[in-house]
Amino acid sequence: MQISCAGKVVLVAGGTGGLGRGVSLAFLAEGTKVVATYRNEEEFAVLKAAAGTHAELLEGANTDVTDESSVTSLVAEIVAKHGRLDVLVNTVGGYAGGIKLWELEPKVFERMLDLNLRTGFVLARAAIPAMLKQGGGVLINIAAKAAFDHAAGASAYAASKAAAVALMECLAADVKGTGVRVNTVLPSIIDTETNRKAMPDAPFAKWPKPEEIAGVILFLASDEARVVHGASVPVYGES
């Protein structure tokens, strides 16, 4: 199957992170205009260097995607400059685990909700009206296997990811028949530098790599996936 996203305008939230960088690079390699949000200038510089000859298609936006006004302004700027926003991929997230619920600090719980749930709400609330106006678009939100696999010590993380799945399923029902598609991708442990450092004795070879997950995201963003809507797609690898 030939998958193409060439010519599309894509916003990758968290586009310089462990997964986000892989997603940004995959879209750039397809000839896609990519706007990547980031919070660390050095990470954006790394992404731009990795983009190589495709760097001219890359734009960066230092944006707090938990902040509604900042995200609303960003989407408006993208539409004003490029005339449309075809795809939104939200790769922003965070993890806190190994903590029993009664020992969990409220600020940690709130942080998980901000990173894993609120980002999806804020981004969708800004992007969906623009997609509806243009008659189509794709939103892909990254949740996690933990949305369904509720382990001990992961209450805040699992709850935030489960809520993110429910949020996107409801949104998919809201936009049914409009030409806008909404799907969720569910990784388990991704083979990133951060995860390797956190689990140095783990079986890295069994973890899916960012570029492998990015391939699934590319498909979901493409016209070839026009029949996929309201789905939660597992990309667990062997982990």
CATH number for position 196? 3.40.50.720
The mean pLDDT of 40-67, rounded to a whole number, is: 97
Say if 1 falls within a structural domain: no
Say if 61 falls within a structural domain: yes
Say if 56 falls within a structural domain: yes
Q: What is the CA angle 125-131-136, rounded to 5?
A: 140
Say if 3 falls within a structural domain: no
Could you tell me which residue, 5 or 119, shows the higher pLDDT? 119
Say if 79 falls within a structural domain: yes
Given 38, 95, 157, 236, which residue is catalytic? 157
The whole-chain average pLDDT of the chain stands at 95
Residue 198 belongs to domain spanning:
9-234
The mean pLDDT of 121-148, rounded to a whole number, is: 98
The per-residue pLDDT for 2 is 62
Task: Place 1 in a pLDDT band, splitting at 50, 70 and 90.
Answer: low
Percent of the chain scoring above 70 in pLDDT: 99
Say if 2 falls within a structural domain: no
Task: Place 138 in a pLDDT band, splitting at 50, 70 and 90.
Answer: very high
Query: What digits encode the pLDDT tens for the residues 193-207?
Result: 888 888 888 888 888
Tally of domains within the chain: 1
**What angle separates helix 68-82 from helix 119-134, to the nearest 10 degrees?**
30
* 157 counts as catalytic: yes
Task: Place 51 in a pLDDT band, splitting at 50, 70 and 90.
Answer: very high
Task: Place 10 in a pLDDT band, splitting at 50, 70 and 90.
Answer: very high
Report yes or no: 112 and 99 within 8 Å, Cβ to Cβ. no
- 191-197: long-range contacts (C-beta < 8 A, 24 or more apart)? 192/18, 192/19, 193/18, 194/18, 195/18
Report yes or no: 188 and 145 within 8 Å, Cβ to Cβ. yes
The mean pLDDT of 131-140, rounded to a whole number, is: 98
Number of H helices, E strands in the chain: 8, 7
The per-residue pLDDT for 197 is 84
Could you tell me which residue, 91 or 191, shows the higher pLDDT? 91
Q: Is the pLDDT at 190 greater than 80, yes or no?
A: yes
Q: Is the pLDDT at 123 greater than 70, yes or no?
A: yes
Query: What digits encode the pLDDT tens for the residues 97-120?
Result: 999 999 999 999 999 999 999 999
Say if 174 falls within a structural domain: yes
Percent of the chain scoring above 90 in pLDDT: 87
Query: What digits encode the pLDDT tens for the residues 141-158?
Result: 999 999 999 999 999 999
